[in-house]
Amino acid sequence: MFNRVLFSSATSEWETPQELFARLHAEFGFTLDVCARPWNAKCTRYFSPEQNGLIQEWAPETCWMNPPYGREISRWVRKAWEEAQKGATVVCLLPSRTDTAWWHEYVMRAAEIRFIRGRLHFEGAKNGAPFPSCVVVFRPGCTGPPVIRSMAAR
């Protein structure tokens, strides 16, 4: 039942795989999870839906962002890019949606795109994700074009 809900449009939230987060945290040293719930926050400091990370200041933090993957994702990606212009480093776990407007408007101005080889296994999911994923890094002042790399899902 849980996986049926997880892999349907009934949810837009996908909990970050701990192993992936640990690798990226070792590299970046995150200080703020900008889009979390109390039970899945990856950092001590985080913004819950009630705090609404979209209206908070992120700079000059080093931020982790795994946003809801529904229609509002474009707002989160735009916010990540805007906060990088203000001095934040924002590392985002995103679906690889290269055909979308938000991808072309913001991701293509990122410092780095790391396409994930294979499918991620989100926390609590029995199967791999039904879509490709990537890690997008927005660094302070980045304007693109991005450096493109590949990384393993595990």
Question: pLDDT tens-digit profile of 119-129?
Answer: 786 766 677 67
pLDDT in tens, 30-39: 999 999 999 9
pLDDT in tens, 63-74: 999 999 889 999
Number of helices (H), then strands (E), belonging to the chain: the values are 4, 6
Kindly report, residue by residue over 76-119, the tens digit of the pLDDT. 999 999 999 999 999 999 999 999 999 999 999 999 999 999 87
Average pLDDT over the chain, rounded to whole?
A: 88
Radius of gyration of the chain (CA): 14
At 70, which CATH number? 3.40.50
The two structure tokens encoding residue 21: 């987060």
Confidence category of residue 10, pLDDT binned at 50, 70, 90 = very low
* pLDDT above 70 as % of the chain: 88
Return the closest-CA partner of residue 104 out of 81, 71, 87: 81
| 152 vs 64: CA distance, rounded Å | 19
Question: Which residue range is the domain that position 73 belongs to?
Answer: 2-152
Count how many domains the chain has. Answer: 1
Q: Provide the CB-side half-sphere exposure for 108 (13 A, CA).
A: 9
In terms of DSSP bridges, do strands 62-65 and 32-33 run parallel, antiparallel, or are they unpaired?
parallel
- pLDDT tier at 5 (50, 70, 90 boundaries)? very low
3-state secondary structure of 79: helix
C-beta of residue 36 within 8 angstroms of C-beta of residue 45: no
* DSSP reduced 3-state for 12: coil
